């Protein structure tokens, strides 16, 4: 710019001097060749100040043009840089697209679980009173998830998950829309989920289905998740608060609260056995957990959960406590309270004429910890149903509160030394949950690497009896204990094979009452061999 200005100033100065010299030479010639006369009128040229102003105007115009050109160049360079910085990465086999400015991301998720189950029962002759003599062995696609998740405008998180799998046997499958939610994460330590969600609830409910040590969660926990609104595919809203190092170095405080409705599947055959069936059923639930110690790979925590069925649904809504024996290749529930029925839409909880449930509540507590590659945990849950029981003989209505409970104790030992994983924070329900070990040496025939191996054991017990010998009022749902022994082979962080043997004992009488016919034992002992092949990224 300075060079251009100097050049223009020089040209102007030369032009001014040349014009002055030309005028002076013409005047001398005229004076020498002619008689004196009146002075000729010569037009006055631009003054020095006018020329300086013109030069300054030209400089300003050139400077403005250069600034505009520089701005356009900067903008184009920024766009080109951001375009070039949009990246594809693979996070544990998960394709992820990230924008150049870091405000957007898109990840593709896939989970596939193929199960095989074999029920080993005594022949019908040796168990003549058994309620279920021929459970169906076979295979089922337990889960077949495909979904996307990611970040939008830095403060929002989204997730969509489609499920083409489900249980086996008479059940046609789980809801197809498993998750469809938007989360706001712009407030430090908080997360708000809205849409089709899976709330953080119970001990293993905060572990991904792809990270479970066993083929299924404990029976008592499955009942709680389905009945009290904590399972996936729930329409609702959830608020979560998480703070690490809140009171002590290494601690982690988690609190969540959720209000949920029913699953995305409409009431009917595909929803059978998935908790309450009323399309207007609503639940409120809360999860509290505190990791009080950690040295990095090792952790110890305690937690509690509360849930309530606010309304079971006035049009066909029911509350039923039941579950299958921790495998899904057969849809049979070996223990079940049966349906309590739905509260009437009018008349309040004590309106008479039928048997129904007004609402239900539950409490649960858990403790868990791992020391490097060893893990132990225990959980207890208590259910209470508010029931209006109608006795036809006396035409009397009894408002009572049947109570049920269960617990699970479990442990694992990772033989290859990898520690159990613990999730401090997460955008989904895996907040504060335990996961699978990260494989140090993925399986390969090219080298001496065999993946990770884990031995697991669990005992779970569920009691769905309530005064079962009291005729007319009791509930003979049954009691079930399951010893699950398993070996998990993690070929890598995406592929897993599980081999499990479940030893099942069912104690169930034929009906309520204390007569010989009522107290006839219709339970049984059986073994279930379960195998799962899984890919999950």
Structure confidence at residue 406 (pLDDT):
98
Structure confidence at residue 38 (pLDDT):
47
Q: What are the DSSP calls for 233-290, one per residue?
A: SEEEEEEEEEEETSSSTT-EEEEEEEEEEEESSPSSGGGTTSS---TT-EEEEEEEEE
Q: What does the alpha-carbon distance between residue 419 and residue 221 come to, in Å, rounded to a whole number?
A: 25
Give the pLDDT confidence of 434-456 residue by residue, as tens digits.
999 999 999 999 878 899 999 99
Asked whether 233 and 179 are in contact (CB, 8 A), the reply is yes
**What average pLDDT score do residues 215-230 get?**
95
Structure confidence at residue 18 (pLDDT):
46
Structure confidence at residue 222 (pLDDT):
96
- 330 CB-contact burial (10 Å; exposed 0-12 / middle 13-18 / buried 19+): buried
What does the DSSP 8-state code read for residue 123?
-
- 259 CB-contact burial (10 Å; exposed 0-12 / middle 13-18 / buried 19+): middle
- 496 CB-contact burial (10 Å; exposed 0-12 / middle 13-18 / buried 19+): buried
What does the DSSP 8-state code read for residue 418?
P
Structure confidence at residue 272 (pLDDT):
43
Nearest C-alpha neighbor of 45 from the set 21, 81, 80: 21
Lowest mean pLDDT among 18-27, 70-79, 176-185, 392-401: 18-27
Q: What does the alpha-carbon distance between residue 98 and residue 105 come to, in Å, rounded to a whole number?
A: 4
**What average pLDDT score do residues 56-72 get?**
84
Confidence label for 351 from pLDDT (cuts 50, 70 and 90):
low
Count the residues in the chain: 537
Helices 2-33 and 48-85: crossing angle in degrees, nearest 10, is: 160
Give the pLDDT confidence of 402-411 residue by residue, as tens digits.
999 999 999 9
Distances (CA, A) of 169 to 141, 178, 270, 501: 11, 20, 12, 20
Q: What does the alpha-carbon distance between residue 369 and residue 379 come to, in Å, rounded to a whole number?
A: 12
Strand spans (E) along 415-451: 421-422, 434-435
Structure confidence at residue 246 (pLDDT):
95
Asked whether 121 and 129 are in contact (CB, 8 A), the reply is no
Give the pLDDT confidence of 231-260 residue by residue, as tens digits.
989 999 999 999 999 999 999 999 999 999
CATH 2.40.160.10 fits 86-536, yes or no: yes
**347: pLDDT strictly greater than 70:** no
**288: pLDDT strictly greater than 50:** yes
Q: Which of 73-87, 193-207, 255-269 has maximum average pLDDT?
A: 193-207
Give the pLDDT confidence of 133-177 residue by residue, as tens digits.
999 999 999 999 999 999 999 999 999 999 988 755 444 468 889
Rounded to a whole number of angstroms, the CA Rg of the chain reads 38
């Amino acid at each position: 710019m300075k060079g251009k200005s100097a050049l223009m100033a020089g040209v102007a100065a030369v032009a001014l001097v040349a014009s002055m010299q030309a005028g002076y030479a013409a005047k001398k010639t005229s004076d020498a060749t002619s008689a004196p006369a009146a002075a000729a009128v010569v037009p006055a040229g631009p003054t020095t100040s006018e020329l300086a102003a013109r030069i300054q105007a030209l400089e300003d115009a050139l400077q403005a043009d250069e600034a505009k050109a520089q701005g356009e160049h900067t903008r184009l360079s920024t766009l080109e840089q951001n375009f070039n910085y949009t990246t594809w990465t693979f996070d544990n086999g998960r394709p992820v697209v990230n924008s150049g400015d870091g405000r957007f991301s898109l990840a593709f998720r896939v989970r596939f679980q193929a199960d095989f189950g074999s029920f080993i029962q005594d022949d019908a002759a040796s168990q003549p009173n058994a309620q279920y003599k021929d459970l169906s062995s076979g295979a089922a696609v337990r889960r077949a998830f495909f979904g996307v998740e990611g970040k939008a405008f830095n403060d929002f998180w989204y997730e969509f998950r489609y499920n083409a799998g489900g249980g086996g046997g008479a059940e046609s499958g789980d809801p197809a829309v498993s998750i469809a939610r938007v989360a706001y994460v712009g407030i430090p330590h908080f997360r708000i989920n809205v849409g089709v969600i899976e709330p953080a609830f119970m001990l293993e409910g905060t572990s991904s289905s792809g990270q479970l040590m066993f083929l299924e969660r404990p029976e008592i926990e499955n009942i709680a998740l389905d009945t009290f609104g904590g399972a996936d595919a729930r329409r609702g809203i959830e608020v979560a608060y998480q703070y690490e190092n809140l009171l002590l170095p290494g601690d982690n405080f988690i609190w969540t609260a959720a209000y949920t409705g029913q699953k995305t599947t409409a009431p009917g055959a595909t929803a059978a056995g998935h908790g309450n069936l009323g399309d207007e059923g609503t639940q409120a639930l809360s999860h509290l957990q505190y990791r009080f110690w950690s040295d990095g790979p090792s952790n110890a925590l305690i937690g509690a959960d509360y849930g309530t069925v606010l309304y079971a649904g006035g049009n066909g809504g029911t509350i039923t406590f039941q579950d299958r024996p921790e495998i899904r290749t057969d849809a049979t529930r070996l223990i079940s309270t049966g349906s309590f029925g739905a509260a009437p839409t009018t008349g309040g909880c004590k309106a008479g004429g039928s048997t129904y449930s007004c609402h239900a509540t539950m409490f649960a507590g858990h403790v868990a910890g791992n020391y490097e590659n060893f893990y132990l945990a225990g959980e207890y849950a208590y259910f209470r149903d508010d029931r209006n029981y109608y006795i036809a003989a006396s035409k009397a209505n009894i408002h009572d509160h049947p109570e049920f409970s269960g617990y699970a104790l479990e442990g694992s030992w990772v033989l290859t030394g990898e520690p159990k994983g613990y999730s401090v924070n997460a955008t989904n329900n895996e907040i504060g949950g335990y996961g699978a070990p990260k494989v140090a040496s993925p399986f390969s025939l090219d080298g001496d690497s065999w993946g990770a191996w884990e031995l697991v054991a669990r005992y779970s017990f569920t009691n769905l009896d309530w005064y079962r010998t009291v005729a007319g009022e009791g509930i003979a749902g049954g009691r079930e204990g399951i010893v699950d022994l398993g070996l998990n082979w993690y070929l890598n962080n995406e592929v897993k094979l599980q081999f499990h043997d479940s030893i099942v004992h069912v104690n169930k009488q034929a009906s309520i009452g204390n007569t010989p016919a009522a107290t006839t034992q219709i339970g049984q002992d059986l073994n279930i061999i379960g195998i799962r092949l899984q890919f999950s990224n």
